[in-house]
Amino acid sequence: VSTWSHVPAGPPDPILGVTEAFKADKDPRKINLGVGAYRNEHGKPYVLPSVKKAEELINSAKPDKEYLPITGLPEFTKAATKLAYSAESIPYAENTIAVTQSISGTGALRIGGAFLARFYPHAKTIYLPIPSWGNHTPIFRDSGLEVRGYRYFDKKTVGLDFSGLKEDLRNAPEQSIVLLHACAHNPTGVDPTLGQWKEISDLVKEKKLFPFFDMAYQGFASGSTTRDAFAVRHFIKEGHQIALAQSFAKNMGLYGERVGAFSLTTSDPAEKARVDSQLKIVIRPMYSNPPIHGARIAETILNSPELYAQWEDEVKGMADRIISMRDRLYDTLVKDLDTPGEWGHIKSQIGMFSFTGLTPPQTKALAEKAHIYMTADGRISMAGLNNGNIEYFAESVSTAVK
């Protein structure tokens, strides 16, 4: 009998399952709105020109392929913290940010979870928004934290349940860890306003909660890296200590290169050195040290004034294309097709995704009858829409809800 005969089949990944169904569909009108990766106006993956230029620069220097240090490429991690916190922030200026390169955003969250599980001096409970990115729960559970939720999304208004959020954080035990999506909340596309962020910061302070920011979309939400960093920088200005997971998958289109960073703010350089030493001890037995190529690309862009300016334009280009698809989808659904229901959220939501409000039976009907694929919760990746398919998509949605 096989050693593994007792292993039960696990459920398929809900998002990758959508892609499989899409691939199997032979209809030429088919659309995949499941996967969270940017597509250009022709529906194709997009390699940023700034990334291509950085790769040319790197290749022409004929670099070796030696191991990176355990915490990665220092020129990259320094630049990543500058991008998130800003050069003017106190922790950056005073060199008190403990930081490590990570296997993209997922790896940053996992290192953070493992570090908190080992060293967080209070109850190791993390509160996630309901709903949150599907991988958050298994990441933190497998890291050894207890996972709980706070209300975030209001199905009735298709917007933020701000009173529910405040009530749940107020009722959480003091010193709990709270996960916050820094911008472009996934899957809902609903972010707190600047005023609401200030209230959340006050509440986190009052309840002595520990804020862990997941920033997977800096620049990708509004088109401005500064604007998208508002929440993180506001919390820092308010004197919070934070944990931060950064990803360069979306904003540099470096998905498969796996470029990210995890950081913690500390009280002084000596404490930073102690935390850095423990981050190394967490990482060394996990994967020893991170991959080099993507970090070189990101570092080259972030540390070159010309490439940085070009990259900022290109991020804005991606964000603007998505925003223009939101406008066009709204106009087509409401003005051209007189689709029943309230669709204003398509325009007010932000980032890669929109929570359409479509129900599981409607999403099923869209897949079976119109060859349009999305997750069962009605989340669509706005980046999958373009001028060539948006009309067909809007007509199909209109039919599905009528």
Active site residues: 133, 214, 250
Question: Of 34, 72, 91, 105, which one interacts with ligand PLP (CB under 6 A)?
Answer: 105
Bond preceding residue 131 cis, omega within 30 of 0: yes
Minimum distance from CB of 172 to ligand PLP (Å)? 21
Q: Which string of x and - marks every residue 10-39 that binds ligand PLP (by CB under 6 A)? A: --------------------------x---
Minimum distance from CB of 186 to ligand PLP (Å)? 4
200 binds ligand PLP (CB under 6 A): no
Strands (E), 75-186: 97-103, 125-130, 146-151, 153-154, 159-160, 177-181
Minimum distance from CB of 108 to ligand PLP (Å)? 8
186 binds ligand PLP (CB under 6 A): yes
Strands 177-181 and 210-215: parallel
Minimum distance from CB of 217 to ligand PLP (Å)? 7
* Residue 21 CA to its chain's centroid (Å): 24
What residues from 307 to 366 belong to the interface with ligand PLP (CB under 6 A)?
Answer: none
260 binds ligand PLP (CB under 6 A): yes
**Three-class SS of residue 9?**
coil
Contact, 101 vs 313, CB < 8 A?
no
247 binds ligand PLP (CB under 6 A): yes
Q: Which stretch binds ligand PLP (CB under 6 A): 144-152, 162-170, 247-255, 359-367?
A: 247-255
Minimum distance from CB of 12 to ligand PLP (Å)? 17
223 binds ligand PLP (CB under 6 A): no
Rounded to whole angstroms, how far apart are CA atoms 260 and 80?
Answer: 8
Question: Of 216, 252, 318, 325, which one interacts with ligand PLP (CB under 6 A)?
Answer: 216
Cα torsion through 238, 242, 245, 246, rounded to 10 = 30
Q: Which stretch binds ligand PLP (CB under 6 A): 99-107, 114-122, 194-202, 383-391?
A: 99-107
Residues whose CB falls within 8 Å of the CB of residue 280, separated by 6 or more in sequence, listed in order:
70, 71, 100
What does the DSSP 8-state code read for residue 254? Answer: -
Strands 159-160 and 153-154: antiparallel
Closer CB to ligand PLP, 96 or 192, in the complex: 192
Rounded to whole angstroms, how far apart are CA atoms 166 and 129?
Answer: 11
Q: Which stretch binds ligand PLP (CB under 6 A): 81-89, 100-108, 275-283, 364-372?
A: 100-108
Q: Which string of x and - marks every residue 156-185 that binds ligand PLP (by CB under 6 A)? A: -------------------------x----
Closer CB to ligand PLP, 200 or 334, in the complex: 200
Minimum distance from CB of 362 to ligand PLP (Å)? 24
Q: Which string of x and - marks every residue 133-152 that binds ligand PLP (by CB under 6 A)? A: x-------------------
Minimum distance from CB of 212 to ligand PLP (Å)? 11
Question: Of 160, 179, 183, 249, which one interacts with ligand PLP (CB under 6 A)?
Answer: 249
Closer CB to ligand PLP, 230 or 255, in the complex: 255
Contact, 225 vs 312, CB < 8 A?
yes
Residues whose CB falls within 8 Å of the CB of residue 175, separated by 6 or more in sequence, listed in order:
122, 123, 207, 208, 209, 210
378 binds ligand PLP (CB under 6 A): no
**Three-class SS of residue 319?**
helix
Minimum distance from CB of 82 to ligand PLP (Å)? 19
Contact, 265 vs 89, CB < 8 A?
no
Contact, 180 vs 231, CB < 8 A?
yes
Give the total of residues touching ligand PLP (CB under 6 A).
13
Rounded to whole angstroms, how far apart are CA atoms 326 and 261?
Answer: 30
Closer CB to ligand PLP, 132 or 339, in the complex: 132
106 binds ligand PLP (CB under 6 A): yes
- Give, in degrees to the nearest 5, the angle at Cα 150 between 147 and 152: 130
Cα torsion through 361, 333, 343, 129, rounded to 10 = 50
Residue ranges that bind ligand PLP, judged by CB under 6 A:
36, 104-106, 133, 181, 186, 214, 216, 247, 249, 255, 260
